[in-house]
Amino acid sequence: MADKEMQKREASSPVETERTKARKVFIPRVDICETKDAIVLLADMPGVDEKSVDITLEKNVLTLSGRVEPETVEGYRAAYVEYEAGDYERAFTLSDEIDRDRIEASVKDGVLKLTLPKAEPVKLRKISVKPS
């Protein structure tokens, strides 16, 4: 993700939420990779750290949220600004193939990494029948 030119896209309406603050909401760009054992999400959320990111899982919806406060330099006022600070929000619907109890998350340099382990396949179970 670091090699790609980063662009922020403003969310037209956040997923199933009503916002009460006049802050912009951006949709973080996400790369999704699959391994034999897991699905890995890498989300670009510049400016977020482990204290300003929130990940929730309700029913089958995994929601990523992050908050970035604008930097201000004392004694200066902005003459021209290209980078806008705001919130990040994106939601994903998970299938039953994900083991929800083993999801892990980490953040480094504004990149949120989520590891979604695949659930063990349901094993065939033979049920024996006993005479009554």
How do residues 94-124 score in pLDDT, each as one tens digit? 998 899 999 999 999 999 999 999 988 755 6
Tens-digit pLDDT profile for residues 19-56: 566 778 999 999 999 998 999 999 999 999 999 999 99
Q: Which of 14-18, 19-23, 59-63 has the highest mean pLDDT?
A: 59-63
d(CA 20, CA 120): 41
Average pLDDT, the chain: 84
Phi, psi angle pair for 101, to nearest 5°: -75, -15
Contact between 41 and 31 under an 8 Å Cβ cutoff? The reply is yes
Residues β-bridged to residue 104: 115
Full-model pTM: 0.73
Tens-digit pLDDT profile for residues 64-89: 999 988 778 888 888 887 877 889 99
**Is pLDDT above 70 for 9?**
no
Instruction: Name the token pair of 108.
Output: 């480094």
Task: Choose which CATH entry (3.30.2270.10, 3.40.50.720, 2.60.40.790, 3.40.50.360) describes domain 9-72+80-117.
Answer: 2.60.40.790
